[in-house]
Amino acid sequence: MAVKIRLARGGAKKRPYYYIVVANNTAPRDGRFIERVGTHNPLVPKDHEERVKLNEERIKYWLGVGAKPTDRVARFLDAAGLYERKERNNP
């Protein structure tokens, strides 16, 4: 079972709110997940403390077990110092 740390969309129409979840990679985007480990609210300013909330202890556990973060979640984890994101070459 391949496990990913990814975003699941919540909120209302035109008012997005994302949960950072640990899920099987074959599960639907907003469907079944194993554990909720954080939130992301893109509507607040970038420097606001409520923009990204992470449960660092659980994220460290899942990374240690072998879960792979998606590109967007890897950015959040890199900013928090939990994961070293590799730069990509996009032509």
CATH number 3.40.50.450 is the correct assignment for the domain at 3-80: no
3-state SS class at 90? coil
- pLDDT computed for residue 13 by the predictor: 95
Q: What is the pLDDT along the chain (91 residues), one digit of tens a residue?
A: 799 999 999 999 999 999 999 999 999 998 999 999 999 999 999 999 999 999 999 999 999 999 999 999 999 999 999 999 887 787 6
What's the pLDDT score for residue 87?
79
Dig out the tokens for 49 from the structure.
Answer: 């403390």
pTM of structure = 0.89
Annotated domain spans of the chain: 3-80
d(CA 75, CA 61): 18
The pLDDT of residue 90 is 74
